[in-house]
Structure formats: C-alpha cells, structure tokens
Amino acid sequence: MNDYSYLVAWFACIGVLISTFEYIYVRREFLGDGIFSWHVLQTRYSRGSPLLASALDTCCSPKGTLAIIGMRGLCAALVVLHVARIPYLTVIVLLLISTLFINYRLGAGSDGSDQMLIVILSGLTVSNLFPSGSRYQIIGIGFIAAQALLSYLVAGVAKVSSSVWRNGSAIHLISNHVTYGSRWLERWLRNKSGLQKIICWVTMTFECCFPLCLLGPRWLTLMFFSAGILFHAGTALTMGLNCFFWVFVATYPAIWTLKLAFGKLL
C-alpha cells in the first residue's frame, strides 16, 4: 500500500471507528424489541435455503451482529494504528464485507457516507491487488476519485434544481429539522434571509465546481480541499454527520493521486 492509498484507508477507517462506537452505543436496538430487530427486518427478504436462513439468523442475531461490528472496528484500528506486517489486502476485504453486511442487516438509516465508504473500500481492494508502486494501482484509486468528484457534482446540480435551495430557505429548513437540525444554528439564521441565501449559493457553487480541482493548478486543488474540509467539519458540528467528514476527506488523497497521474500524461 503506497502512501496515498494508506492516507485514503487511514481517514476512512477513522470514520469506521466512529460508526463502530455509534453502533455499540445503540446496541439495544438490535434486540427483539429494538428498531433493528432481525425478527422484523428478516421479513423483507426471501429466506432461501434452510442452510442460508440458519447462517443469516446466526450472523444477524444481536450477538452475531455485534461480533461482526466489533471485528470491523478491530480491522479499522489496525489500519489507523499502522500495525506493521498485517495483510492489508485481507483487512480491507474484511472491512468491505462487514460494511456490506451491516448495510444489509440494517436495511434503512444509511446515508451518503455509507455508500462512499463502500466505494472507497472497493477501490482500495482493487488497488491492493497490485504490487506496491505498480502503475495499475491507479485503477482502484482513480475509481475512488471519480466517484467522489461525481458525488459532489450531482449533489450540487440537485441543489441548484431545487427552489428551496435557490431561494435560500433550505439551510433554515435543515437547521430546524428534528433529526439533523441544530437549535443554535436555527436561532442564528432565523429572520436572516440574506445570509441564508448566501450560504445556500456558496454551498451549491462549491459542489458544482469541485470537479475543477482535478483540472486546475495544484493551488486550486488545495483550495478546494480546504473548502471541503471546512464544509464537512461544519456539517459534522451542526448536523451530527460525523462520518461524512472522515469518509469524504478520505477521497482527497485519491483525487490528488489522480491529478498527479494526469499531470504526468499531459
């Protein structure tokens, strides 16, 4: 694993550790009377063969689920602590499989950071199939970078197409949301329609223009990265989207790697 790949993995695994502690904190919700009870959620799926049904029941039971979550957290800790001589490919594959399992097990409540984490772990898996220093590692890293650039662009275009974002009321509606709201932010933005509109248009402009960081000079790329770090830190503080910060920042070393590769070609 080269330096840039490791940075991608390191930031992503910080996000995995945070989500691990969050799952452990709400572990009672995996019990029979919890919102993630397998007795209820299993009704969404076909049971298949008795052997498969038995395996799913074992893995998706409260103890099985927490065991897999704990294993996932341990793998992430090994990457974060940069433990020497661990088989990184095996660890990344275990992280990918366990993340896919958790998304399947929960069935609901996932967000963009969960989807991007799967993209990152898939890209790192492909990248680590090749020897360190191989030029073919850019395949996996490039996949991560392309998906990140596309996600920013799509998010920006979707916001521009929304009237509540164009007129500036979206930021106040979000701050007043029951789940993702922030009382102090809502009070601060209240009756400040001009400021609300500025925040909305700055957000839309940033997201729509973010792909330019791949084509512009290096200082422009670093400016977009700095703006992205501030943007995701702000959403983490105000909306509680803690994993978004680490997972999306994890894509920046991949974007930088792809930019350097383009620079060599040009």
Q: Where are the domains of the chain?
A: 3-265
Residue 219 pLDDT class (50, 70, 90 cuts): very high
Check residue 172 and give its pLDDT: 86
pLDDT tens column, 166-192: 999 998 888 888 777 778 888 888 888
Displacement of CA 58 from its chain's centroid (Å)? 28
- Tens of pLDDT, residues 43-96: 877 666 778 778 888 999 999 999 999 999 999 999 999 887 788 999 999 999
Q: What are the helix (H) ranges across the chain?
A: 3-25, 38-41, 50-60, 62-80, 88-106, 112-127, 138-160, 163-166, 170-175, 183-189, 193-209, 218-239, 242-249, 252-265
Distance CA 92, CA 68 (A): 14
Measured between alpha carbons, how far is residue 236 from residues 15, 177, 221, 246 in Å? 12, 15, 22, 10
